[in-house]
Structure 1
Amino acid sequence: MENKNVIIVGCARSGLAASKLAKRNGCEVTVYDQKAYSNFHQDVQQDIDDLRAMGIQFKLDENISLLDYDLIILSPGVPTDLPFLEEARNRGKNIIGELEYASTFCKAPIVAITGTNGKTTTTTLVGEIMKAYNKHTYVVGNIGRAFSEDVLDIPEDGIVVAEVSSFQLETTKTFHPKVAAILNITPDHLNRHKTMENYCQAKYDVFKNQTVADTIVLNEKDPYFEEAKKLAPSNVITFNSDVQTAQGAYKEADTLYENIGQQTERICAVSELKIVGAHNIENALAAIAICTAFGVPRSIIIDELKCFMGVEHRLEYVCTKKGVDYYNDSKATNVDAAIRGLLGMSKPIHLLGGGMDKKISFEEWVKLFDGRVKKLYVIGECKDQIIDECNKQGFIAYEAYETFAQAIKAAYSEAQKEECVLLSPACASWDMFESYEQRGDLFKEIVNHLEG
């Protein structure tokens, strides 16, 4: 792609990283975003200034045509059905995503992990195991570091562990992981994908370029398991937290096992794990299956599994104030993840929920409130939808708040000893925050400054 005229659409982290990669590859590079320079966070403004100094052009908050460019690279957050993209596509322009672009430079084998929930925890755990196995392991993708930032530094004998989202996968063409995993599929991002069929197809794109020499790891308990298994062109191994698998990883009598080789091998007891909750048992089983399929020795898998402490913003214990435990589950950006958060708590819950509307139903989440949630403190763009669902289900212990801080302080004033305050919103953060990380960080900051 040397000397190509490339345009990057979207001024987020992935887009800026792709622009730098394209420039390093000898391309003429332009970055386009509908936002004005003054509307970006100060850190992003500095990145833009640095890239301009490298000779990268920026066209911000202006009308442009994409027809003058040889290659169009999308940031994951840019919807693929925007009219100016449809026009370019109809005119035969090559449109790909940042993940696809970076992968074309990668010589190392790729492990790709997707799913509605559990991606970050599983990717982080697999990354720790792989790092213990091979020091040249790079953890990239949706987890926080763009693939484009590292790809030219990754040696051929290294390993890439990538968390990949449906947004990233739907713009792939040749992306080819050696080992891939779909952890689960539940309704999410339907404001973007429109239908569950489209959402599932984006997830299935993780294995579309695999062959029989590659491996796809699937969850036997997932409702879309049989469909994915039928469509996958690669070797299928599975994980199951209820019953023994034919070939994969499973839990039996509170012990984790794998039977991918010639015989069944014990990994560890559930009690030896430092991560809690049924969803984390599934994440651990997925990691065992992924790493075993890749060829990591069992001893390394066991050692790293027992040491793993979990990830920030996912059922993260923050502190205890006046006998009340505070948990940050800001990464619960959909109903299924928030349900896992509720089921992970053993004390009465003062629940902070709400955020950006992703056109998903809150019914299954609210149905679990009775007997678990003492009060719901609801905020954000979709608070009316959540309140309507509460009323339908006969749950009336709720109150709406205009600001995040007001909701936190109300929970602090009302929670009693031996109860907990849980931020597990069931919604995206973008109506009030730049990211779920920013939301979780603010929660921790406010909570840690409360009188103890």
Structure 2
Amino acid sequence: MNTLKQFPYQNVLVLGLAKSGTAAARILLENGKNVRVNDMKREEENEEAKELKQLGVEVITGHHPLTVLDGIEIVIKNPGIPYENPVVAEAIKRNIPVITEIELAGQLAEGPIVGITGSNGKTTTTTLVYEMLRSSGEKANISGNIGTVASEVAKDIESDEILVVELSSFQLLGIQSFKPTVSVLLNIFEAHLDYHKTLDHYANAKANIFSNQTESDFVVYNLDDDLVVELVENAKAKKVPFSTKQHCQNGAWFDGQTVYFQDQPIMDKREIVLVGEHNFENILAAIAAASLMGAKPEAIRNVLTTFQGVRHRTQFVRKLNNRSFYNDSKATNLLATSRALESFEQPVILLAGGLDRGNDFDGLIPYLDNVKELVVFGQTADKLIKVAKQAGIEHVKIVDNVEHAVHEAYASSEEGDVILLSPACASWDQYRSFEERGDMFVRAVHKL
């Protein structure tokens, strides 16, 4: 097991459990640290807290008293907890460092790290890089915001193993020395403004991915995204662009027919099975990152001729009576949903709605031309109904949840239709995660 060799703190508060907090507490305990845990869920219904208490962790649950900071040298915060949280704000006031679990992963990993972030496409790109490396015979591990806690993976990998990690802006806000060998910045789109407050703050959080990189590292970035280009200007790492519009002699690019890395043709577009024009950006980013870490062209081709997508990201579920069902539950913002809609030429019945973060949905209107019906749910239902009227969609239904949405959509569908769950919203008003929401959709589809 790898250890925390550069972690000078002895008394640590883990604020918020879930998967990342629980993993951080266990790792700290294994490294001989004094661990205190504070979680809002009461102990009697908090299995993680009970297990940690049995291991000797001091557990405080049900509220966030400021006394949890007494004697604490550093706070490891669950990424979703905002900085306005009273304990976090008080820690900052007391000059106590506040980090996220990903910082531990960076210290534990003894081999190279490929870190991938962006507003959209992170999961697909992370999975592609991992598959390309594995197909090339490289030792690679996948982790992070994609589902497996990065520090749990990092503690057990060897120096010749590559850690491929998906990173959110929430995680990246809480780093000190975390430094990928290859960082990837896919795109920047207005998102999570309830948390970050401004686009600049959000963009700067994303830019943290390359803030500790040096001239010996690489930053793979989207040459077609002006904000990304602006952010990367100050990066110290070697810049490797990707573009669907421009020739990138030093990066990955697409001429409308053939995909290239540098000036080497990789494959013809027609051989790629992953649907959606937007996925070409993800593909190019993955080719660049994987190639920099040793992936071979034939392995890249092998992956791209077989890879059909990841769960909850425009995932094909089934075809029933010539209706095609797609699960895009990971579409938690307008850009993700607009890109999903661009993937289809057939008539679409769109299932959308979820947590209201204060934004409107007017940006969806240009992408609703082939949407014949909208089925809405969650806190944003009324806002989406308003947008449907503006877009001239005559058939709109409001339902209680995703399961009911599936039944309503199927009942009014016709042969050739696509029934697409692409919510354009986070899931937390009704579901614990986008995965839970997507799994409900998949189960409901298979029950039809």
Q: TM-score range by the shorter chain?
A: over 0.9
Choose the corresponding residue for 1:116, options 103, 115, 119: 119
1:141-152 to 2 correspondences below 5 Å: 141-152=144-155
Give a deviation string over 1:273-301, Cα, whole Å, max 9, x none.
Answer: 12111111111111111112223333332
Number of residues paired by the alignment?
A: 440
Match of 2:26 in 1: 20
Match of 2:174 in 1: 171
Match of 1:439 in 2: 437
> Are 2:11 and 1:5 aligned?
yes
| Aligned counterparts of 1:12 and 1:22: Cα–Cα separation in 2 | 16
Where 2:414 maps in the other structure, the secondary structure is coil
| Aligned counterparts of 1:411 and 1:329: Cα–Cα separation in 2 | 15
Match of 1:361 in 2: 360
| Aligned counterparts of 2:8 and 2:249: Cα–Cα separation in 1 | 48
After superposition, the Cα gap between the structure-2 partners of 1:416 and 1:214, relative to the gap in structure 1 and judged at 3 Å, is same
Give a deviation string over 1:173-230, Cα, whole Å, max 9, x none.
Answer: 1111110011111111011000000000000000001111111111111131331231
Give the C-alpha shift of residue 135 in structure 1. 5.0
| Aligned counterparts of 2:433 and 2:181: Cα–Cα separation in 1 | 30
Where 1:426 maps in the other structure, the secondary structure is coil
Match of 2:244 in 1: 241
Of 31-40 and 438-447, more deviation after overlay is shown by: 31-40
Give a deviation string over 1:300-337, Cα, whole Å, max 9, x none.
Answer: 32323323232111111111222211111111111100
Give the C-alpha shift of residue 152 in structure 1. 1.7
Aligned residue identity for 1:384: D
Match of 2:55 in 1: 54
Match of 1:187 in 2: 190
Identity %: 37
Aligned residue identity for 1:297: K
| Aligned counterparts of 1:406 and 1:436: Cα–Cα separation in 2 | 17
Match of 1:291 in 2: 290
CA contact (8 A) 1:188 1:358 kept: no
Give structure 2 stretches of 5+ with no counterpart.
Answer: 1-6
| Aligned counterparts of 2:90 and 2:167: Cα–Cα separation in 1 | 27
Aligned residue identity for 1:367: P
After superposition, the Cα gap between the structure-2 partners of 1:67 and 1:48, relative to the gap in structure 1 and judged at 3 Å, is closer
Where 1:120 maps in the other structure, the secondary structure is helix
| Aligned counterparts of 2:278 and 2:127: Cα–Cα separation in 1 | 15
Give the C-alpha shift of residue 150 in structure 1. 1.8
Match of 2:315 in 1: 316
Of 157-166 and 354-363, more deviation after overlay is shown by: 354-363
1:50-89 to 2 correspondences below 5 Å: 50-64=51-65, 65=67, 66-89=69-92
Give the C-alpha shift of residue 11 in structure 1. 1.2
| Aligned counterparts of 2:189 and 2:45: Cα–Cα separation in 1 | 34
CA contact (8 A) 1:270 1:281 kept: no
Match of 2:336 in 1: 337
Where 2:108 maps in the other structure, the secondary structure is coil
> Are 2:38 and 1:32 aligned?
yes
> Are 2:200 and 1:197 aligned?
yes
Of 355-364 and 292-301, more deviation after overlay is shown by: 292-301
Where 1:358 maps in the other structure, the secondary structure is coil
| Aligned counterparts of 1:307 and 1:135: Cα–Cα separation in 2 | 19
| Aligned counterparts of 1:271 and 1:52: Cα–Cα separation in 2 | 55
Choose the corresponding residue for 1:231, options 214, 230, 234: 234
Aligned residue identity for 1:5: N
Aligned residue identity for 2:15: V
| Aligned counterparts of 1:63 and 1:348: Cα–Cα separation in 2 | 49
CA contact (8 A) 1:113 1:123 kept: yes
Give the C-alpha shift of residue 49 in structure 1. 3.3
Give a deviation string over 1:98-123, Cα, whole Å, max 9, x none.
Answer: 00122122211111000000000000
| Aligned counterparts of 1:178 and 1:93: Cα–Cα separation in 2 | 28
CA contact (8 A) 2:378 2:430 kept: yes
CA contact (8 A) 1:377 1:411 kept: yes
CA contact (8 A) 1:318 1:444 kept: yes
Give the C-alpha shift of residue 14 in structure 1. 0.5
1:130-149 to 2 correspondences below 5 Å: 130-149=133-152
> Are 2:204 and 1:206 aligned?
no
Aligned residue identity for 1:415: S
Give the C-alpha shift of residue 38 in structure 1. 4.7
| Aligned counterparts of 1:308 and 1:320: Cα–Cα separation in 2 | 19
> Are 2:101 and 1:98 aligned?
yes
TM-score (norm 2): 0.94
Aligned residue identity for 1:51: L
After superposition, the Cα gap between the structure-2 partners of 1:93 and 1:302, relative to the gap in structure 1 and judged at 3 Å, is same
TM-score (norm 1): 0.93
Give the C-alpha shift of residue 2 in structure 1. 7.1
CA contact (8 A) 1:14 1:98 kept: yes
CA contact (8 A) 1:9 1:33 kept: yes
Match of 2:258 in 1: 255
Give the C-alpha shift of residue 134 in structure 1. 4.9
CA contact (8 A) 1:108 1:158 kept: yes
| Aligned counterparts of 1:113 and 1:103: Cα–Cα separation in 2 | 14
Aligned residue identity for 2:57: I
| Aligned counterparts of 1:271 and 1:49: Cα–Cα separation in 2 | 53
| Aligned counterparts of 1:431 and 1:97: Cα–Cα separation in 2 | 24
CA contact (8 A) 2:28 2:35 kept: yes
Match of 2:425 in 1: 427
